[in-house]
Structure 1
Amino acid sequence: MIFRWFESLIDAFKEPEDGMPPDSVWRFYVFYLRQVWPVFAAAIVVGFGVAIVEVAMFGFIGRIVDLAKGAPAADFFARHGRELLWMVLVTLVARPVLILLHDLLVNQAIVPNLTSRIRWQNHRYVIRQSLGFFQNDYAGRIANRIMQTAGSLRESAVQIVDAIWYVTIYTGSALVMFAHADVWLAAPLLLWLVLYVITLAYFVPRTKERSWKQSEARSRLMGRIVDGYSNILTLKLFAHTRREEAYVAEAMGEQIQRMRSMTRLTTAMDATISALNGLLIVGTSALAVWLWSQGRVTVGAIALSTGLVIRIHNMSGWIMWVVNGIFENVGTVQDGLETIARPRLVQDRPDAVPLQVNRGGVRFEDIHFHYGKKGGVIAGLDLAVRPGEKIGLVGPSGAGKSTLVNVLLRLYDLEDGRILIDGQDIAGVQQESLRSQIGVVTQDTSLLHRSIRDNLLYGRPDATEEDIREAVRKARADEFIPQLVDGEGRTGYDAHVGERGVKLSGGQRQRIAIARVLLKDAPILILDEATSALDSEAEAAIQDSLELLMRGKTVIAIAHRLSTIARMDRLVVMDKGHVVESGTHAELIARDGLYARLWKRQTGGFVAAEDDAALA
């Protein structure tokens, strides 16, 4: 019961503020710790109590020695029973209770929940980044930074709290106790403290810098490893295992060098602190014995000072490792900020409203987009697609066909111009509502490494089992789904498809994609080389499904197979970011332009092999 209560103090899934996390390390820490400040404040107070009790116990040792020396053994307990009972209560009751509270706050409330909250909020922010964000980085490195940053922030925050109290209480109390016995007894500790601070001031900044570089190298290594695993088929098809090993070895070599640089610093720091601690123990003990020989301090003061400096010696080594860990974690957080604290390039406006699609008309008005490059990908394009019209986009590679689809989906924001759907500027509507009204079947269908059923429900999460099976039947996917078995023995709709759907053939993935879009039943449909993964027989088998899929919808199809293009109401020919021709197949052939030149190379109803790339 007590565990559950402490575990409920922090909600791991609290909705974050909808904005970019701070991009500086200090403000990043404050941003997340401020959300759980009552629990952290309680941990700080309890930590203070634990440190006070620990120091008091060393005072008890010196006090007991002095009491035993000054009182006859026979009536020792009678004369000092109350004081001894107080020492027992502090040691047997107060100390365990305070340590238990500290552990409950840290281990039950902070460690699992704060870590998970930071990961959850960072994930929610990053997953809403633009498509370009993910295309410009390794998926493995992004995931690695999300996971590591949270743990490092929590760990360093807890370590800082514990370290501050132990250093402050131990050294402060020791100085007071030593000075109370004899002011000269505090001199070695004061000297040690000055040298200890100088040592920290030298090593800590270097530790932070090298930790950041080490974390950066580790993230790069993780990215390369995951990149290879994600593209394992390409690696094997091109027989480049050794090349891939060399690629990873290069990053691993850099990571080793960064780690060696870090461990050299750690070894030097540890050796320096050990030498200082030796001086502290010898200096304090020798001075205490000399002062006792002069009659200036008691035997209890010798026991107290010797025991306390030995404890400080052990603590200083721990503090140094903690400080090293703190700045290693700070370096990891700093590395994570490079991925997490970046502005979203595509965002909804504050006044964005849901898109309402009644008819499905689409207009591109003088649009410009260049992917940040000089020169035009799309420059000044105008195109109107009537409600319910089915158009086919044709043109050479780089003409801007896929880019046109990307900006319609608002995967990127336009640089100029506007796109209207039923008269509504898509720049002013919510992205989620825009994409919910558009169904997409792409050339390279990517499925989630989940069950067939889960992948289908992406089309419509509230679909019934009957809806799913009907969509599967229409897509002709019912021919293979019942026979599927995954590595863990799951079958049919429960079988998992592997990362990006690698356990299925291209044709099978495409049929799942078509079934998913059939379930979605959006009023606007985009087919981006939707049948290119199918052979002629498989394509013919699902043509009826495509016809059904397109029925009653506004359709924009990028295709070079005539079987798809011939079914379009109008063909739009693009070149260098412009619409250069528009009309039916017969009209374009008669015009003898770019489309006619491409057509002349066709045989057997398909674009010639050498033109496949040009028409993609």
Structure 2
Amino acid sequence: MFRWFESLIDVFPKTETKTPPRSVWRFYLHYLRPIWHVLLATLVAGLALALVEVAMFDFLGRIVDLLAEGPGAGFFQRHANELLWMAGITLLLRPLLVALHNLLVNQAIVPGLSNRSRWLMHNYVVRQSLAFFQNDFAGRIANRVMQTGTSLRESAVQMVDALWYIVVYTGSALWLFARADPVLTLPLLVWLVVYVALMAWFVPRMKERAWIASDARSKAMGRIVDGYTNIATLKLFAHAGREQAYVRDAVEELAVKHRRQTRMTTALDTWIAVANGFLIVGTCALALWLWNRGQVSVGAITLATGLVIRIHNMSGWIMWTVNGIFEDIGTVQDGMQTISQPVQVRDAADARALVVTRGEVDFQRIHFHYGKRGGVIVGLDLQVRPGEKIGLVGPSGAGKSTLVNVLLRLYDLEQGRILIDGQDIADVTQESLRGQIGVVTQDTSLLHRSIRDNLLYGRPDATPEQLQAAVERARAASFIDSLVDGEGRRGYDAHVGERGVKLSGGQRQRIAIARVLLKDAPILVLDEATSALDSEVEAAIQESLDDLMAGKTVIAIAHRLSTIARMDRLVVMDRGAIVESGTHAELIAHGGLYARLWARQTGGFVAADA
């Protein structure tokens, strides 16, 4: 039974690329519409349960009136059917409705809706461009995805379940009061007007302050996670006080905004307590007055008193429910700032898979500047022939890494186009494009998973023999076998820590090289691929790099010029443009920028071919 209710909401539906709506109510509908049948069933169950609970107060009043007949031998015979009906509803129907309601909420909606929403939000956010993640805290993005899923579910359940329950409960109470005597409804009607007026004044302000507090909470979370992520930097620079002040500012801002939010809650709670006092006193006094005039029975007084005390108790719950709903809506609004942003780099509607047969790369009059006024790359032309190995050289900021970023389509070009074997990369899927390009970067970031999982990112279907061969070619086997993590996992099962912090820079780089060896893509990008290795280790894996580059089109970036001096061609860049091109010997003889850069360096272990 539990599994059936738990299967009513598919946590992992087919993902979509459509941008979530930026309007709050349309955002809710976007995520709630697919599960409308579960929400409708919950609403109906809540309606039935509210009616049963109100009926039980009516039963109480009826029993008091029956007792007025006095004891007698024929009492149970005369009222057997009515009493059995009351018992059946109390003993059988109410527990069944409670069970149904709880199964729908606790088994279907609570785990299903929140995790389904998180899954869909994550799958949308993870497709965002690199710039999206560079412009925000990773912790704040993750916090918004997780909290928005929870708040979406909480507010939806409360709106569908609790508010409907409240409306039915209050409406039924009015009907029962009117049945006893229409005059008895006056205190409750006045209370309703006051209650609605209080809600109308307080709730919009509470909603606004909840949104402001949620934004401050995300900011504080982002700063805290940023510090944890860069804990080594914090400790190396010995600025604990400075970092505490940085986080303190965010927490202090959160505390101030949270206090402003809770002030409204306290004020609303106080006013409702005053209104509730008048409701109880007014209803009881009016009921006694009507009874004294013979217009209502003792049972009616019992019914009215019991119901208004129940409504008094519920009013606090109503207040917290409404407050919670709008606090959750505020959190959803905060999350929408991140989640509902359009994806900047999208596949074309008719995008096809890239097919690489030769490996020719052609940059045609490309322009790109990261949104700045000045151009980073302006009108660049470069053709890399199939199987050619070129080295990109130039001072920092020349545009070398940017050229690689646009080749991988981490950013879209502003003008021009890039062709691979005659196919415009803007017309193929990003996944197929990056699947055909192997990349080893200077700042190798590993996933906080096992060594094996990190290696298999290069080729998930690799056999153990292929994995071992790639590791040996990257000269990584020796240190992998000796690894042990904090939980006792060894070798390939050892976890590397966040971003690979448990490994040295050289070890991370060799894992990255092994991963690309395993991928065996036809186009290879080396962005300072051996910068984290000392000369001895670099010399040891140079043969592996030569094997890796064999038969591939290679674009290599290196500031240590000796590592790329024997490439087929060196392309010298400066200020986003190509200023020189040729072999190492030709560029040295030319005496230009490359010759000056070479002269400043002492050379290295790679001898340049004459």
- 1:151 partner SS: helix
Paired position in structure 2 for 1:88: 87
Q: One-letter code of the match for 2:410?
A: L
Matches within 5 A, 1:322-333: 322-333=321-332
Paired position in structure 1 for 2:160: 161
Indicate conservation of the 8 Å contact 2:187/2:279, yes or no.
yes
Q: One-letter code of the match for 1:115?
A: S
Matches within 5 A, 1:280-359: 280-359=279-358
Indicate conservation of the 8 Å contact 2:187/2:282, yes or no.
yes
Q: 2: distance between equivalents of 1:605 and 1:173?
A: 88
Q: 2: distance between equivalents of 1:474 and 1:385?
A: 27
Matches within 5 A, 1:351-430: 351-430=350-429
Paired position in structure 2 for 1:461: 460
Indicate conservation of the 8 Å contact 1:9/1:39, yes or no.
yes
Q: 2: distance between equivalents of 1:591 and 1:183?
A: 104
Indicate conservation of the 8 Å contact 2:213/2:257, yes or no.
yes
Q: Which moved more, 1:12-21 or 1:282-291?
A: 12-21
TM-score by length of 1: 0.97
Q: One-letter code of the match for 1:382?
A: D
Q: 2: distance between equivalents of 1:381 and 1:270?
A: 66
Indicate conservation of the 8 Å contact 1:55/1:169, yes or no.
no
Deviation of 1:164 after TM superposition, in Å, equals 2.2
Indicate conservation of the 8 Å contact 1:368/1:414, yes or no.
yes
Q: One-letter code of the match for 1:395?
A: G
Indicate conservation of the 8 Å contact 2:42/2:161, yes or no.
no
Q: One-letter code of the match for 1:566?
A: A
Q: 2: distance between equivalents of 1:161 and 1:11?
A: 20
Deviation per CA, 1:289-317: give whole Å up to 9, x if none: 01100111111111010000001101111
Indicate conservation of the 8 Å contact 1:562/1:606, yes or no.
no
Deviation of 1:576 after TM superposition, in Å, equals 0.9
Deviation of 1:567 after TM superposition, in Å, equals 2.5
Q: 1: distance between equivalents of 2:230 and 2:531?
A: 21
Q: One-letter code of the match for 2:201?
A: Y
Paired position in structure 1 for 2:474: 475
Paired position in structure 2 for 1:67: 66
Deviation per CA, 1:236-292: give whole Å up to 9, x if none: 110111111111111110111111111111111111111100100000000000110
- 2:556 partner SS: strand
Paired position in structure 1 for 2:571: 572
Indicate conservation of the 8 Å contact 1:378/1:577, yes or no.
yes
Q: One-letter code of the match for 1:409?
A: L
Deviation of 1:605 after TM superposition, in Å, equals 3.5
Matches within 5 A, 1:183-582: 183-582=182-581
Task: Give percent identity, aligned residues only.
Answer: 73
- 1:207 partner SS: helix
Deviation of 1:65 after TM superposition, in Å, equals 1.0
Q: 1: distance between equivalents of 2:38 and 2:11?
A: 13
Indicate conservation of the 8 Å contact 2:566/2:584, yes or no.
no
- 1:206 partner SS: helix
Q: 2: distance between equivalents of 1:555 and 1:207?
A: 59
Q: Which moved more, 1:427-436 or 1:390-399?
A: 390-399
Q: 1: distance between equivalents of 2:15 and 2:436?
A: 27
- 1:376 partner SS: coil
TM-score by length of 2: 0.98
Deviation of 1:72 after TM superposition, in Å, equals 4.5
Deviation per CA, 1:494-519: give whole Å up to 9, x if none: 10001000111111111000000000
Indicate conservation of the 8 Å contact 1:560/1:606, yes or no.
no
Q: 2: distance between equivalents of 1:563 and 1:590?
A: 16
Indicate conservation of the 8 Å contact 2:561/2:603, yes or no.
no
- 1:487 partner SS: coil
Deviation of 1:585 after TM superposition, in Å, equals 1.1
Q: One-letter code of the match for 1:132?
A: A
Matches within 5 A, 1:581-592: 581-592=580-591
Indicate conservation of the 8 Å contact 2:393/2:561, yes or no.
no
Deviation of 1:600 after TM superposition, in Å, equals 2.0
Paired position in structure 2 for 1:109: 108
Deviation per CA, 1:378-412: give whole Å up to 9, x if none: 01000000000000001111111000000000000
Indicate conservation of the 8 Å contact 1:366/1:417, yes or no.
yes
Paired position in structure 2 for 1:16: 15
Deviation per CA, 1:171-212: give whole Å up to 9, x if none: 111111112211111110000000000000011001111111
Deviation of 1:163 after TM superposition, in Å, equals 2.5
Deviation of 1:542 after TM superposition, in Å, equals 1.0
Matched, 1:28 2:27: yes
Q: One-letter code of the match for 1:24?
A: S
Deviation of 1:603 after TM superposition, in Å, equals 1.9
- 2:68 partner SS: helix
Q: 2: distance between equivalents of 1:17 and 1:525?
A: 31
Q: One-letter code of the match for 2:43?
A: I
Gaps of 5+ in 2: none
Deviation per CA, 1:540-577: give whole Å up to 9, x if none: 11111111111111000011223321221100001111
Paired position in structure 2 for 1:611: none
- 2:128 partner SS: coil
Cα RMSD (Å)? 1.1
Q: 2: distance between equivalents of 1:243 and 1:328?
A: 32
Q: 2: distance between equivalents of 1:32 and 1:73?
A: 61
Indicate conservation of the 8 Å contact 1:419/1:425, yes or no.
yes
Gaps of 5+ in 1: 608-616
Indicate conservation of the 8 Å contact 1:284/1:309, yes or no.
yes
Deviation per CA, 1:111-161: give whole Å up to 9, x if none: 101111001011111111100010011000011011100111101111112
Deviation of 1:604 after TM superposition, in Å, equals 4.1
- 1:480 partner SS: helix
- 1:603 partner SS: coil
Q: One-letter code of the match for 2:543?
A: D
Indicate conservation of the 8 Å contact 1:389/1:555, yes or no.
yes
Q: One-letter code of the match for 2:537?
A: A
Q: One-letter code of the match for 2:163?
A: I
Indicate conservation of the 8 Å contact 2:563/2:604, yes or no.
no
Indicate conservation of the 8 Å contact 1:58/1:307, yes or no.
yes
Indicate conservation of the 8 Å contact 1:68/1:76, yes or no.
no
Deviation per CA, 1:360-395: give whole Å up to 9, x if none: 000000000011111110010000000000000011
Q: One-letter code of the match for 1:128?
A: R
Deviation per CA, 1:320-362: give whole Å up to 9, x if none: 0100111111111110001111100000001000000000000
Matched, 1:598 2:601: no
Matched, 1:51 2:50: yes
Q: 1: distance between equivalents of 2:584 and 2:557?
A: 15
Q: 2: distance between equivalents of 1:190 and 1:119?
A: 42
Q: One-letter code of the match for 1:54?
A: E
Deviation of 1:606 after TM superposition, in Å, equals 8.8
Q: One-letter code of the match for 2:40?
A: A
Q: 1: distance between equivalents of 2:605 and 2:201?
A: 72
Q: One-letter code of the match for 1:256?
A: A
Paired position in structure 2 for 1:39: 38
Deviation per CA, 1:51-102: give whole Å up to 9, x if none: 0001000111111111221354332111111011101111111100001000
Report how many residues are paired.
606
Indicate conservation of the 8 Å contact 2:483/2:494, yes or no.
yes
- 1:526 partner SS: strand
Q: 2: distance between equivalents of 1:345 and 1:604?
A: 42
Q: Which moved more, 1:173-182 or 1:520-529?
A: 173-182
Paired position in structure 2 for 1:610: none
Q: 2: distance between equivalents of 1:526 and 1:582?
A: 18
Deviation of 1:520 after TM superposition, in Å, equals 0.2
Deviation of 1:16 after TM superposition, in Å, equals 2.9
